[in-house]
Structure 1
């Protein structure tokens, strides 16, 4: 039985960065579409089935009087017609998938807000940005037919908003 690594990303990150990545990963799993991983050069789209095996493991490795803790999260499923994994060399959209911010000396402060994706009374999917105090800061302004499309809309805002100017419109 052979093993093939389809995607791997390893770097030292802050707790806030790791939490943001895990939240984005959870949103991808919660959507109807594939879970897309990015590494800057390419993306990998994996379509999980409705049910999978989820394994959480905390290990301590000790050697020469020093120890290291590891938390491993593993999600497994058999490949079948309802699941797949496919490398995307040139994603059609620059904001597709989840990715850590590029390594740099200047890292943004952890966000004071969180994105929420929800179904409205009409059954459409919407997103909103909520401050940690519970106030709604922004919303998508429109309903989407699928959760996946609502997440794509909020990812577009995440990708395109940094550095956006302020225009006074009267």
Structure 2
């Protein structure tokens, strides 16, 4: 069997950044559409089937420099006879897909998190929640699909970092 690595990214990240990435991955995986991985240069869209083998493994490796701990999460399925696919995507909306944000110079972890949820009218919504539990912002509208709500919050993430404050009277 020949193994071909289609996407790989490795970087030292804080626990908060890793958790945010895993939440974004879970949100993409929770939709019926593709799961898109981005590394800034290109994107890979993978469409998983309805069910797959899920493996969680914690390993300790002892060596000359001491020991290392590793957590491996693996989701595996056969491409034979399924509607799954994996394809490199060249031109992709910058608000689609999951990727680590560029490493910041200030080293400050985010004080908030985005939440995606269904409201009482069975529409998808997003909100930005401070670590103290206060809602800082929300999308202001319901979306028909979870993927659309995620696209809306990604647009805010992408377009707002340098937003200026305007006094509107």
Would the aligned equivalents of 2:49 and 2:82 in 1 still touch at CA under 8 Å?
A: no
CA-based RMSD? 1.5
Aligned to 1:157: 156
Aligned to 1:16: 16
Q: How far apart are the structure 1 equivalents of 2:155 and 2:106?
A: 20
Could you tell me which runs of 5 or more consecutive residues in structure 1 were left unpaired when the two chains were aligned.
none
Could you tell me which runs of 5 or more consecutive residues in structure 2 were left unpaired when the two chains were aligned.
none
Would the aligned equivalents of 1:130 and 1:136 in 2 still touch at CA under 8 Å?
A: yes
Would the aligned equivalents of 1:127 and 1:140 in 2 still touch at CA under 8 Å?
A: yes
For residues 74-130 of structure 1, what are the alpha-carbon distances to aligned partners after superposition, in whole Å with 9 as ceiling and x for unaligned?
Answer: 111122442111101221x112211112245x0452122211111122221111111
Q: How far apart are the structure 1 equivalents of 2:155 and 2:19?
A: 20
Please give the residue correspondences for 1:128-139 in structure 2 after superposition, counting only pairs within 5 Å: 128-139=127-138
Aligned to 1:88: 89
Would the aligned equivalents of 1:32 and 1:147 in 2 still touch at CA under 8 Å?
A: no
Would the aligned equivalents of 2:36 and 2:45 in 1 still touch at CA under 8 Å?
A: yes
Q: 1:27 to 1:108 in 2, by over 3 A?
A: farther
Q: How far apart are the structure 2 equivalents of 1:108 and 1:27?
A: 25
Moved more, 80-89 or 66-75: 80-89
Please give the residue correspondences for 1:17-166 in structure 2 after superposition, counting only pairs within 5 Å: 17-64=17-64, 66-79=66-79, 80-91=81-92, 93-103=93-103, 106-166=105-165
Q: Provide the TM-score with structure 2 as the length reference.
A: 0.92
SS at structure 1 position matched to 2:61:
strand
Q: 1:108 to 1:62 in 2, by over 3 A?
A: closer
Aligned length: 168
Structure 1 residue 168: Cα displacement: 0.9
Q: Provide the TM-score with structure 1 as the length reference.
A: 0.92
Q: 1:108 to 1:33 in 2, by over 3 A?
A: farther
Q: 1:107 to 1:99 in 2, by over 3 A?
A: farther
Would the aligned equivalents of 1:32 and 1:146 in 2 still touch at CA under 8 Å?
A: no
Q: 1:136 to 1:65 in 2, by over 3 A?
A: closer
